[in-house]
Amino acid sequence: MSSSAEPLPVRASRSPALSGNVRVPGDKSISHRSLLLGGLARGETRVTGLLEGEDVLRTADAMRALGAKIERNEDGSWVARGNGVGGLLNPEAVLDFGNAGTGVRLMMGLAAGHGLTVTYDGDASLRKRPMGRILTPLKQMGARVVDCAEGERLPLTLEGPQDVIPVTYRLPVASAQVKSAVLLAGLDCAGDTTVIESEPTRDHTERMLVHFGADLIRETEGSESRITLKGRPDLVGRDVTVPADPSSAAFPLVAALLVEGSRVRLENVMVNKTRAGLLTTLEEMGAKITRENERELGGEPACDLVVEASDLHGVEVPPERAPSMIDEYPVLAVAAAFAKGDTIMRGLSELRVKESDRLAAVAAGLAANGVRHTIEGDDLIVHGGERVAGGGTVETHLDHRIAMSFLVMGLASEEPVTVDDGAMIATSFPAFTDLMTGLGAKIEGAAG
């Protein structure tokens, strides 16, 4: 996969009923964190179910460049060996994170907090994304931006301080990436690091820090939490089991809801409530989704989701739900296109700074396929019609989730939907086309 290679158009057409049992790949957020913490912690960490997508492989390479040993076993599990907190080295070359916002932002925190000087770069999409949100707290902790592109963007060189300054940082945006960068920067700090979030965001960093032996407390009052990490913990290698990614499960899930007669079982899906906003919303829209085999997997709540084709109706999605489904709005917009009545999604400003401007990309994709919609400020309103014309070509703007969302649309629309380039699907879901066609979906073209 490369953003400069020839585009790979992919086309999805109206499909017969989807059926089968499938396991989508491991969670991307947890996979990144398992390599960051496993590559840092003293001793051996064995990771099973790691997402072997481009984004996560960049994090593996970056950790190796800082001195961690990271290998893939023949059975598909991964082993990371680190030197403990304080044991990272300056890399010899630029760390290129490709398309991976989570990888680069979490690494900036970890590396700066270890006093390293690192140059970060990425693809055309990542170079457009704001890094100031990470640099602001890291500068308060003593880091210095040596060089960066205009607007505090990549390529960027960041120098960590000799001694990290303990901070209490209130998140100005509901971002788990910012929270995580600050906590990781606090690992090699002599004092405590506190992050205050006024709305809950995904808590995988906190869970995994505790799993590796950190002393971390969360105090919650209403929707606000204060998370405090005690510096210089003795992080020790642990086994990590990565549950299936709910953000990837969202694609076969919505496809099964939309394609008449479908019944699909999605196994081992993580249902941590900081990630479950799409499930809540689809259930409110009338989706038939049953949770079976509820259990814990790798310290996260997980279950099998049994999904049946359903008649959906529009709902209003409140802004405070956004952090728990931030990556799922594109595919929700597709579900909303087939739902009866209006679906109103409020408070989507963060969608503008993802792998693409997702608000604009979704609107353009809906328009190209004859779906009426309105954008009012940061709100998206999809005027659902139960039937979707399709027939359009969607520009993916180097965004995997735009590509997969509109391919799902094509499985139920009257005419096929084409996405201009499926290459980026490999960043998070390399087996997407195979998995979907295995369920009966008609998707042609080489994605990933």
User: Among 177, 194, 310, 433, which residue interacts with ligand S3P (rule: CB under 6 A)?
Assistant: 177
> Is 180 among the residues that bind ligand S3P (CB under 6 A)?
yes
> Distance between CA 156 and CA 147 in Å, rounded?
6
Helices and strands per DSSP (H, E), number in the chain = 13, 24
Q: Are 399 and 425 in contact (CB under 8 A)?
A: no
> Is 175 among the residues that bind ligand S3P (CB under 6 A)?
yes
Q: Which two tokens stand for residue 448?
A: 């990933």
Angle at 383 between CA 378 and CA 385, to 5 degrees: 155
Strand partners, 149: 153
> Distance between CA 386 and CA 383 in Å, rounded?
10
Stretch that binds ligand S3P, among 169-177, 263-271, 276-284, 402-410 (CB under 6 A): 169-177
> Is 326 among the residues that bind ligand S3P (CB under 6 A)?
yes
> Distance between CA 178 and CA 120 in Å, rounded?
16
188 is catalytic: no
Shortest distance (Å) from residue 388 CB to ligand S3P: 26
Place of tokens 């939309």: 258
Q: Are 417 and 409 in contact (CB under 8 A)?
A: yes
Q: Among residues 184 and 305, whose Cβ is nearest to ligand S3P?
A: 184
Please, is 327 exposed, middle or buried when counting C-beta atoms within 10 Å of its C-beta (0-12, 13-18, 19+)?
buried
Catalytic one of 96, 188, 327, 421: 327
> Is 29 among the residues that bind ligand S3P (CB under 6 A)?
yes
> Is 350 among the residues that bind ligand S3P (CB under 6 A)?
yes
User: Among 35, 37, 65, 176, which residue interacts with ligand S3P (rule: CB under 6 A)?
Assistant: 176
Q: Among residues 180 and 268, whose Cβ is nearest to ligand S3P?
A: 180
Q: Among residues 174 and 388, whose Cβ is nearest to ligand S3P?
A: 174
Q: Among residues 197 and 304, whose Cβ is nearest to ligand S3P?
A: 197
Q: Which two tokens stand for residue 319?
A: 């802004």
User: Among 202, 211, 238, 358, which residue interacts with ligand S3P (rule: CB under 6 A)?
Assistant: 202
Place of tokens 């139960």: 386
List binders of ligand S3P among 216-275 (CB under 6 A): none
For ligand S3P, the binding residues (CB under 6 A) are 29, 102, 175-177, 180, 201-202, 326-327, 350
Enumerate the active-site residues: 327
